[in-house]
Chains A and B, each alone.
Chain A
Amino acid sequence: GENVEQHPSTLSVQEGDSAVIKCTYSDSASNYFPWYKQELGKRPQLIIDIRSNVGEKKDQRIAVTLNKTAKHFSLHITETQPEDSAVYFCAAPRDTGFQKLVFGTGTRLLVSP
């Protein structure tokens, strides 16, 4: 089955800096990789995802890159703002039907003003 590892577990940056969170997966058949942002006590919210037919996807200050050969994908946040502070989870499909997701352990991002 799929195994997802996420690093770092915590990340502190100054406002305006960039933040990068990395995840690795084990199943080479996986082809859908979402990233979720969860604020304290709130629901996880899908912020960006990537499918294996592309190597990079960007949405304003957020980008995700995928390296299928190395089986890792990364979330990049540029020009960080205090409201970016949250826990971020990566995920990968656990089955061939891509229904179930396996989540990483989460990264707590703190952006200091």
Chain B
Amino acid sequence: GAVVSQHPSRVICKSGTSVKIECRSLDFQATTMFWYRQFPKKSLMLMATSNEGSKATYEQGVEKDKFLINHASLTLSTLTVTSAHPEDSSFYICSARDQIHEQFFGPGTRLTVL
């Protein structure tokens, strides 16, 4: 299957700081990438859909000014958690969609906000 990388894998930050997470499709071009949030022992919650060259679309209840998404190229999407607070602590996972609808996930980023 296709390979998706995500960086960093783990980040600990102080409350009020911003954190940027990168998602890259390594061996295919992804016009669409997705950002999910996963709480412990829970399912994947879609936060936003990232389309190359256009603005991201956010799911209901997700603050676009809080979670900034940029899809700079066909292989890179970034999620910036702005002014992070402890309640933003979570496991963030990106995925990239190939031409035949399959979604391949990155390894995830565990964010801990102190």
Given contacts A104-B43, A106-B43, contact A46 B107 (CB under 8 A): no
Residues of B within 8 A of A (CB): 1, 4, 32, 34, 41-44, 46, 49, 93, 97, 101-108, 110
Closest CB in chain B relative to A102 CB, distance in Å: 8
Per the bound structure, the CA–CA distance linking A14 and B44 in Å amounts to 28
Contact partners of B1 in chain A: CB under 8 A:
45-46
Contact partners of B46 in chain A: CB under 8 A:
100-101
Interface size class of A (residues with CB under 8 A): 20 to 34
Contact partners of A105 in chain B: CB under 8 A:
42-43
CB nearest to B2 among chain A residues: A46
Task: Return 12 A-B CB contacts under 8 Å, by A number.
Answer: A42-B107, A42-B108, A43-B106, A43-B107, A43-B108, A46-B104, A49-B102, A93-B101, A100-B49, A101-B103, A104-B43, A105-B43
